Amino acid sequence: MSDVTSISTFTNLRRSLLARTHAALGARYVAALPPHLTDSDTPIIADYGDPELETTAATLAGLCDVSMFPRWGCKGRGTPDWLKSQSWRLPDKVNHAEEQKDGNIVARLSNDECLLMGDLHFQSARIAELEVLYQQQLPERVYALPRADSHACFVLCGEFSANVMSKICAVDLRSHTFSNGHVAQTSVARVNAITVRQDINDTLAFYILSDLSSSEYLWECLLDALLEFNGCPVGIDALHALGNNT
């Protein structure tokens, strides 16, 4: 479990749009973050005060806000080659995602567009480094996309997470029809969303990315949908507990 802190999330430069929602739920924050996150003054929720409950909920239907995690994207005809040249492994197919050795995830949204999501253990600084490198190189026909600010990102995990999604999304996301690593760019609760299935160990999990300005709305929709499965909001520690075997 993380060392936790009750730091104010209302004085950072970068603040979660759900800070008040999380505060009302009793969020406690990870105290010791690596430099690439502390530099950007990013609060990450460790738990909501009941780690045991959250650990159980994460196996059923847990919802974790990872919007403040590193995230970046780029598009353009030069994108695949440039990312490969920086040692990122890209999925061969569009609408597929691939987890990197360091836990970062690359989702290929089109032939020439990729979304990069930071590892759940927030140890890798590769995305931050890549952003810096991009600014230095400005590679030809590679166009940066500020995914950390354009999209909220939630992880919905647990055996009932596909059932939860079936209440708000018309795409069949059941585990045997929507395999691990599949991506659906679709509508969730009537807002555009990128849904990436990326299991955490053997636990079914979806990364749901949607317009950041809709984050409070979508958070509420997801919470409403998961209640019937004994789900609840969970902090990052609950997700780590799912991945303890790795």
Partner 1 sequence: MSNERLSAPYGALIDRTKAVSFTHEDKTFKGFKGDTVASALAANGEFLLSRSFKYHRPRGALSMAGQDANTLMQINKDGNALADRVPISEGMSVQGQNYIGSLKGDVGRAFGLFSKFLPVGFYYKAFFKPVGMWERWAPLFRKITGLGDIDQQHEPAYFDKQFRFYDVVVVGAGPAGLSAALKAAETGAEVLLIDENPALGGSLLYSRLYDTKPDEHEDHAAELLAQLLEKVTLSHTISVMSDAVCNAWYSDNWLAVIQAQRLFKVRAKEVIMCVGSMEQLAIFRNNDLPGVMMSSAALRMLKLYAIAPGKRAVVLTGNTEGYACALELADAGVEVACLVDMRSEATNEAMAKAVTNRGIKTVFKQTVFEARAGSNKNHLGHVSLREIVAQGRCADIDDSVIDCDLLCMAVGYMPTYQLICQAGGTLAYNDESDQFSLSNLPESFQIAGSVNGHWAIDDVIADGKFAAQTAMARWVEGLTTDCAPPRENEYSTSDTTNYTWPIFPHPKGKEFVDLDEDLQIADIVNATLDGFEHVQLVKRYSTCGMGPSQGRHSALPTARLVARSVGKTVSETGVTTARPPFAPERLAHNAGRSFYPARRSAMHYRHIEAGAQMLQAGDWYRPAYYGLPAERELSINAEVTNVRTNVGVVDVSTLGGLEVRGADAAEFLNRFYTFGFVKQPIGRARYALLCNEAGVVIDDGVACRLSEQHYYVTATTGGVGRVFQQMLKWNAQWCLDVDIANVTTAWCGVNIAGPNARKVLEKLAPDIALDQESFPYMGVREGMVAGIPARLLRVGFVGELGYEIHAPQHAGEALWDALLDAGNSVNIKPFGIEAQRILRLEKGHIIIGQDTDAMSNPMEVQMTWALGRKKPFFIGARTINELEKTPLERVLVGFCVNDASAPIPLESHLVLDGEHMIGRVTSCNFSPTLKKAIGLAYVPPNLASPGATVWIKSSGGVQVQAEVVSLPFYDPELLRQEV
Binding region for partner 1 (CB under 8 A): 10, 12-17, 20, 68, 75-76, 141, 143, 145-151, 166-170, 172, 174, 177, 189-191, 211-214, 216-217, 221, 224
User: How many contiguous H segments (helices) and E segments (strands) does the chain have?
Assistant: 9, 14
Strands 105-110 and 143-145: what pairing? unpaired
Q: Which is nearer to partner 1, 40 or 123 (CB)?
A: 40
Minimum Å distance from CB 177 to partner 1? 7
Nearest Cα residue to 76 out of 30, 100, 109, 102: 109
Q: Which is nearer to partner 1, 66 or 200 (CB)?
A: 66
Nearest Cα residue to 72 out of 133, 2, 8, 9: 133
Minimum Å distance from CB 11 to partner 1? 8
Minimum Å distance from CB 14 to partner 1? 4
Q: Which is nearer to partner 1, 53 or 144 (CB)?
A: 144
Minimum Å distance from CB 188 to partner 1? 9
CB 204 within 8 A of CB 18: no
Q: Which is nearer to partner 1, 56 or 67 (CB)?
A: 67
199-to-6, 81, 95, 207, 236 alpha-carbon distances in Å: 30, 27, 16, 9, 15
